[in-house]
Amino acid sequence: MTALLRVCRAAPLLVAAAILLAEAAAAQTAVRFSLEGRLEGPAAVLLVPQDKSYYRQEGIDVALDEAATVLDPITRVANGSHDMGAADLNAVIRYRDQHPTAPVKAIFMIYNTPPFSIVARRSRGITQPKQLEGKKLGSPTTGSTFTEWPLFAKLNDIDVSKVSIEQVGIPVRAPMLAAGQLDAALGYSFRVYVDLKDRGVPVEDIVLLRMSNYGLKVYGSAIIVNSKFAAEKPEAVRGFLRALVKGLKEAIRSPAMAIDSVLKRDDGARKEVEIERLHMAIRENIVTPETRANGFGSIDPVRLDEAIGQISLVYPFKNAPRPEDVFDATFLPPAADRRVD
């Protein structure tokens, strides 16, 4: 009888707890987020906050979707099917120029230095940009790096008429380069370099020409948001960025831990390969001198203005934007919280 009384007295408390839990779940703001591509090492910086419940602690329930093309996250956010996403900032700039009323803006810089690169074979006589003349390059023609190729060529006095570009898919890019069917390939450094090395090509025969080392001022990928969503749910947007910064710092402190967030979602991923990708992205694209000076996520308006000027060298703007038209810094966490540890 005593046991029965205890159960009866506890029942209202259990019901109340269940109600509180249900209310807490209902209070979570749903955020649908588009990645900029397939799952791979660097995506860990967005996945760790989900696995560590940092998003939920900020009152948001984030669903992350992979993307197939560079435009996917931009069009998804612009049409409202996704609230936020990660996208190449330069593609966003061009898209907004072509669609002036598109409700999409960048709010947090992920890749302070872009990973746009040309990966070549030293044995094919390539160690400098000018030596790409007379050579065959492979590239997916829908990729961000291919879009930046004309600017890279112009800044480095490369006669593009003397360079053969062969359209290749991402799955065959590294195999063709490893087999000698290509002299070089365009793509993100942490993709092509690691893939080529993984194919057994000796490191001493791999030449990595990072476009940022050869005159490009442009930024890389950024967090973008649908303007209507940002206006209606500003705290959800701020909460997302706070959670992202926490996860980003953890991924930098422990890449091996962070990469588990990728491996658990992709049975075919190999830990040593994806860790190397993440290490490269952190070292070359995320933690840069500018990031150390200004903190994660921000931009230098002067540099962005110079970048827009560079884009105009090869892209005819209908109406060249100002930095503030492209990037909204008002959602960033305080500078002290974004400091590089």
Would the pLDDT of 2 be above 50?
yes
Per-residue pLDDT tens digits for 117-155: 999 999 999 999 999 999 999 999 888 999 999 999 999
Tokens of 205: 């025969």
The verdict on 280 and 265 lying in the same domain is: yes
In a domain, 7, yes or no: no
pLDDT of residue 141: 87
Least Cα distance to 220 among 140, 129, 281 occurs for 281
Would the pLDDT of 27 be above 80?
no
The verdict on 106 and 224 lying in the same domain is: yes
In a domain, 85, yes or no: yes
Per-residue pLDDT tens digits for 249-272: 999 999 999 999 999 999 999 999
In a domain, 274, yes or no: yes
Per-residue pLDDT tens digits for 149-203: 999 999 999 999 999 999 999 999 999 999 999 999 999 999 999 999 999 999 9
Which is more confidently placed, 121 or 3? 121
In which band, very low, low, confident or very high, does the pLDDT at 16 lie, cut at 50, 70 and 90? Answer: very low
The verdict on 226 and 323 lying in the same domain is: yes
Q: Do residues 120 and 337 make contact, with C-beta atoms less than 8 angstroms apart? A: no
Measured CA to CA, the distance from residue 139 to residue 119 in angstroms comes to: 11
Position 54, amino acid: Y
Measured CA to CA, the distance from residue 249 to residue 339 in angstroms comes to: 10
Q: Does the pTM exceed 0.85?
A: yes
* Boundary-marking domain end, from 194, 214, 234: 214
The verdict on 120 and 108 lying in the same domain is: no
Tally of domains within the chain: 2
pLDDT of residue 10: 53
In which band, very low, low, confident or very high, does the pLDDT at 22 lie, cut at 50, 70 and 90? Answer: very low
Range of the domain at 203: 116-214
The verdict on 258 and 137 lying in the same domain is: no
Helices (H) and strands (E) in the chain, counts: 15, 10
pLDDT of residue 9: 56
